[in-house]
Amino acid sequence: MKTKENHKTVIIDWKPNKNLDKPIYLQIVEYICNKISNGHWLIGSYLPSQRELSKLFDVNRSTIVSAMDELVSLGIIESSFGGGTKIISNTWSLLISKENLDWNKYVKSGLFKSNNSTIQTIIKLEFEDYIRLGTGELSPGLFPHHMMNKIFNKLSTKAYSLNYTEPLGLIDLRIAISNRLKKLGINANPSSILITSGSLQALQLISISMIKKGSTVFTEDPSYLKSLEIFQSAGINLSGIPMDNEGIKYWDINNSLKTIDRNLYNCLLYTIPSFQNPTGTTMTTKRRKDLFEFCKKHQLPVIEDCAYSELWIDEAPPLPLKSMDVNGMVLYVGTISKTLAPGLRIGWIIGPESIIERLGDVKMQLDYGASSLSQLVLTEFFESGLYDEHLTYLRKELKIRRDNAINSLNEYFKDLGTWNIPSGGFYIWLTLKNNISIDKLFKESLKEHILLNIGSIYSFKANHSLRISYAYEDCLTFRNAICKLSKIIRNIS
């Protein structure tokens, strides 16, 4: 992974035309010059290797060599030490047009950091042909198309509107969510609920609307939150707090809290109490109570992320922290991405009305609200009872997949690592023996078309872990991939 870290490789989406009179190597030279002069490719980015170029352009190596020679002599590329051909100048384009714009300084400006390069790689490869052993999504086959068709039919007879929605989101959806929350001991009226474009956006709204630069957000180590750049981009420190198998060891926060000037900076705690991402851990009832008391005592507001809590396999998890919250100290975040369809992009956040109003105002500034079509569809899912029916089905499916996953690990990984048995959600946190290089494993697995979510994405510390998800691949594919993975490990260690 290291060498590629800062390399941005350009994308080739063209082939030379072998029927033209113009020599093929020259066609390639012109294609590359054009891409640079019109700003598509930036100075400092890299060309694919000559071997890859010859494949991509569908020409033989000697043609590539001629083209590269020409580009070097034009001063447009240079071969850098350690492999890789770098774009160094667009002098060629400057010959044509002195007014050529240098986008470089724009791309490097702006508040927002780039995603971590491992994550960028994973996101890209997810849309290619890999077996996805760590993906945090249900397999598309689990989506209830027949239910969706019923809902399309229903909508066809309704007089809905697809105009801009109210700042907090569709009122019927907020009422439906409010009713669902009652069963979890949460009393939230619709004006304390904000619909967001997925729960990721809920977190982003909090990060840009409510937390001062320099403030600290405490979270489990490892945590989903660590894989996001949103808090860091807003200048907020993330602080990882160790876990045991009952949940976050909150008492470890004490020391850090003492060093923070609470008059100057805000602090928050972010936690995923049920079927945590990435460890699969569920916080016990006692730990929830103690954590809640601790936060109350220290005036530490809590963001409670319940993305997976409906996905229990063995038994329902303890009630959410929000159910203990009479003083409005907990911001509760929910989503249907893990239970129904991430592509709907609907999440929500529950909190004191004053906070919800502020977040809703900022949301209106970002994108004028979530898709009302998605909101309408989800409202129907909730109101018709189809959503609950689907959950029942899903729990059974997840049980089969979880059991298959544990069996597969038992069969192939006994001597290679350790893991937990999650009682719901998607994830198993697999920790390998520490003589195995995870970076090497990631690369070697790619060669075998297996895509891994390595532990360093989620953890604050160096580790030898993988986030395994049994939600995406079917049982057979999963089992075979685990078998293959064990072989790769035996080969490289």
Ligand X SMILES: Cc1ncc(COP(=O)(O)O)c(C=O)c1O
Among 79, 80, 114, 434, binds a copy of itself (CB under 8 A): 114
CB of 63 to ligand X, least distance (A): 45
Among ligand X, a copy of itself, none, residue 224 binds (CB under 5-8 Å by kind): ligand X
Contact letters for a copy of itself, residues 360-399 (x by CB under 8 A): -xx-xxxxxxxxxxx--x----------------------
327 near a copy of itself, rule: CB under 8 A: yes
**Which runs of E-coded beta strand occur in 67-196?**
77-79, 85-87, 131-132, 193-196
Residues within window 217-236 making contact with ligand X, judged by CB under 6 A: 224
Among 44, 328, 342, 352, binds ligand X (CB under 6 A): 342
Spatial neighbors of 429 by CB under 8 A, at least 6 apart, are 222, 278, 279, 280, 419, 420, 455, 465, 466, 467, 468
Q: Point out which residues pair with 294 in neighbouring strands.
A: none
Phi-psi sector, 10: left (phi>0), alpha (psi -120 to 50), beta: beta
Contact letters for a copy of itself, residues 126-165 (x by CB under 8 A): xx---------xx-x--x-x--xx--xx-xx--x-xxxxx
CB of 255 to ligand X, least distance (A): 26
**Sheet containing 77-79: order of strands:** 46-47, 85-87, 77-79
- Give CA–CA dist 66/70, Å, rounded: 6
297 near a copy of itself, rule: CB under 8 A: yes
Count residues near a copy of itself (CB under 8 A). Answer: 108
95 near a copy of itself, rule: CB under 8 A: no
Residues within window 365-424 making contact with ligand X, judged by CB under 6 A: 368
Note whether 445 and 334 are within 8 A (CB): no
CB of 367 to ligand X, least distance (A): 7
CB of 164 to ligand X, least distance (A): 7
* CB closer to a copy of itself out of 119 and 406: 119
Note whether 479 and 468 are within 8 A (CB): no
* CB closer to ligand X out of 161 and 491: 161
Question: In what helix (H) or strand (E) does residue 47 lie, and over which residues does it extend?
Answer: strand 46-47
Spatial neighbors of 117 by CB under 8 A, at least 6 apart, are 1, 4, 5, 6
Question: In what helix (H) or strand (E) does residue 25 lie, and over which residues does it extend?
Answer: helix 24-37
335 near ligand X, rule: CB under 6 A: yes
- Count of alpha carbons within 13 Å of 74, Cβ hemisphere only? 22
- Give CA–CA dist 370/363, Å, rounded: 9
Among 56, 328, 391, 397, binds a copy of itself (CB under 8 A): 328
CB of 272 to ligand X, least distance (A): 5
Burial of 58 (0-12, 13-18, 19+ CB in 10 A): exposed
Among ligand X, a copy of itself, none, residue 229 binds (CB under 5-8 Å by kind): a copy of itself
Where along the sequence are the contacts to ligand X (CB under 6 A)? 136, 198-200, 224, 272, 277, 305, 307, 335, 337, 342, 347, 368
